[in-house]
Structure 1
């Protein structure tokens, strides 16, 4: 049944807030704010700015907090500012002392935040946050003699998972003809700007043939299918137009035009187009499809093709990442826009594990590419078991125990694949939408930080709920108010608290 209430229209002025309202200590943003070591990196962040000159910069907590909010909620820069302006919990998270109806900063400041907080700083924050969070959420049993024990004498302990993935950039699928067409249009705009600066001294503007060049491009681009000969001929013509435009730009400079008449973006585009012309001319002459440091995007020249050989996506265009996984936490060890063999990172990642935990891992779990002879010998010298069968022809006689161990290792290694799925489905690792090289690297590193932050929040909530149920049950048991069956049922209920914690995180 529905009953319509008779009341006056609701207006913002009449809407009443609870008097003396305070933030809830159980809110996820309040809990996450306690897990991040804000103060420890404030000084390092402040070193980028001058003490006396310039406008006051936004605090470190505001900068990092805004980036975390954007990644956690999966929204744009503008929407991030709006969410912060409307939500008191988000304003507390970025360090404001009181709620305000005004936005704390402009949406364009998000770009500066990514430039100021580089990938190295984000990785340090991630490692320190996990270290501090684990001390709060886990109770470790350590012997008193272990403090005086040397690091090199400690026994191997723990498991390390290694893998690599690609973070694709937000670019159109590149073709040689399309890249040349974009380069040609960029040179035409540069010629227009240079000619405008010396228009009074130069009577005639250099001819660009832009209409003819566009028609010839569209003749092939609009075809559903074109032959190899037609494609090569279209590329040859676009190369000819770009070469003529580059010569015209040089003549304009000799006539008195300066590159200062161009904006920063046009100057960068000019250098990119010159390199694209050299690469495409080389590939056209040699009839090949590969070249060193190949540019696949005019606007994002740092992006490279990463051949992965995956089903459906044999080649991805973005950054290649080398990642390690320890105890449900994931860390970004290396980020590169050029393709590399990830097996070369194994020794450095294992040494980093030793530096962090004071000992080598008992086993390293990685896919086949990591199991080179050099890596196997290196791990064997340090008492580390490298999972899986090595490269080369598999041995004929494999015991059932070895087959069973290999299957267990492969199942354990799949955990890092689950983290990749979480990063690409729930967060933004599947499509990095930032445009600059340094901001893209920061955005990628923030993704791994937020994943670990969510894991810490989940474990902390699980610990609190488990402690609450257990302590209450023990208290009732001492008072003999419950039976043995109820006592056992209460401990069984603790097993499902993890599901309740996940539901709470989604609902919060």
Structure 2
């Protein structure tokens, strides 16, 4: 059940403290609290709850404010609640009327907040904040309605930066031999758990050859440089051991073993191992290094290899992000664990810019992959200048003005690279 506050929250000057004084208006949390339009999205958040049934839910400001504090400070759920309990500025930020020594909520509530406040809602809030700030600084925006009445065309304004990156996942660097060895070890543990209730009935435990299999793995894994033939031979052996263990698991199930003896993690892992075996067997037989929806981690099967072609890191493992940047404000436009071509989303991202601000950008600053002939023609029809040189053979004579423009465009794109660096810094 969601209950909206009848009385508006007091400003920071009237926030009650247990000691004399008042909150500083220059504090970062006070400034941020004024930027976020809490009331504009409270009704949308309230739709997630019943109006009559259930316990009273926490207000939208408390839910979103707590998540912002956690991400801003980089703390755990429990430490976040402790920080809020000790800091009056954080209590004001989440919407409390006065300082209190007791924690305003349990740390377990953050799990529910993350489920209810998704990326789509966060993007809406970001766009609302950015639009309001840009409208304040741009006096010409006030004339927009007058121009529309006269039938005049609104001029393009602003600069838009588009780029994509890969958010690194916390997994061990995957190799074919390594993931097969890990899968083999997991199947051996599953066999042990399934065999326990059948000791009296079977008497003899299924043979797994685990010691021999580990020796075969270490022969190759400990070497710095291994030839293609030796690595392929080692992968083939691990595939045979894994197939043998999978057959033993099927035999134990037919003999009366129940999967209920396994933990939830082992059940999920068993399904993943079956898929890994199919993929690795297919690559081994066809002598290839790629397969659709390739699994690189048993515990995080959703992670995919993202081919980026960067020097030193040609392949990254994690979610691929497509973002846009306006006046140092960054919007997440697309996130996917599967690889995709970011140039296909340029039109959609530019249209979102127009939907937010009411006009197209004056220029779009992108790297080489976005500068396709289709995207160039689309931008040209709408009077948008796309950064970078023209397609085809470079001209022999380049004017100083064109050189300055190209240099300025590349320097302007550094803003999005800096944002990527901030996000990826642990």
Q: TM-score, normalised by structure 1?
A: 0.73
1:334-386 deviation line (CA, Å, top 9, x unaligned): 11111111111111111111111112112111111111111111111112111
Give the equivalent residue in structure 2 for 1:192: 192
Q: TM-score, normalised by structure 2?
A: 0.86
1:17-50 deviation line (CA, Å, top 9, x unaligned): 9734543333221221222223333343344455
Question: Is the alpha carbon distance of 1:137 and 1:201 closer, same or farther for their aligned partners in structure 2, counting shifts above 3 Å?
Answer: farther
Q: Distance in 1 between matches of 2:387 and 2:343?
A: 14
Residue 323 of structure 1 aligns to a residue whose secondary structure is: strand
Deviation at 1:198, TM superposition (A): 5.5
Give the equivalent residue in structure 1 for 2:419: 419
Question: Is the alpha carbon distance of 1:136 and 1:400 closer, same or farther for their aligned partners in structure 2, counting shifts above 3 Å?
Answer: closer
| Contact 1:368/1:391 (8 A) holds in 2 | no
Question: Is the alpha carbon distance of 1:121 and 1:261 closer, same or farther for their aligned partners in structure 2, counting shifts above 3 Å?
Answer: farther
Q: Distance in 2 between matches of 1:50 and 1:161?
A: 41
Give the equivalent residue in structure 1 for 2:62: 62
Give the equivalent residue in structure 2 for 1:168: 168
- Pick which of 342-351 and 103-112 moved more: 103-112
Give the equivalent residue in structure 1 for 2:149: 148
Question: Is the alpha carbon distance of 1:325 and 1:213 closer, same or farther for their aligned partners in structure 2, counting shifts above 3 Å?
Answer: same
Deviation at 1:296, TM superposition (A): 1.4
| Unaligned segments of structure 1, at least 5 residues | 1-16, 429-508
Deviation at 1:149, TM superposition (A): 5.6
Answer 1 or 2: higher relative contact order, Cα 8 Å, separation at least 6: 1
Deviation at 1:271, TM superposition (A): 1.7
| Contact 1:322/1:334 (8 A) holds in 2 | yes
| Contact 1:368/1:390 (8 A) holds in 2 | no
Give the equivalent residue in structure 1 for 2:375: 375
Deviation at 1:312, TM superposition (A): 2.8
CA RMSD of aligned residues (A): 2.7
Q: Distance in 2 between matches of 1:297 and 1:190?
A: 18
Question: Is the alpha carbon distance of 1:317 and 1:200 closer, same or farther for their aligned partners in structure 2, counting shifts above 3 Å?
Answer: same
Residue 149 of structure 2 aligns to a residue whose secondary structure is: coil
Give the equivalent residue in structure 1 for 2:267: 267
1:60-459 to structure 2, matched below 5 A, reads: 60-135=60-135, 142-143=142-143, 145-146=146-147, 148=149, 153-196=153-196, 202-425=202-425, 428=426
Deviation at 1:424, TM superposition (A): 2.8
Deviation at 1:405, TM superposition (A): 2.0
| Unaligned segments of structure 2, at least 5 residues | 1-16
Q: Distance in 2 between matches of 1:201 and 1:385?
A: 77
What is the number of equivalent residue pairs in this alignment?
Answer: 409
- Pick which of 362-371 and 406-415 moved more: 406-415
Question: Is the alpha carbon distance of 1:356 and 1:255 closer, same or farther for their aligned partners in structure 2, counting shifts above 3 Å?
Answer: same
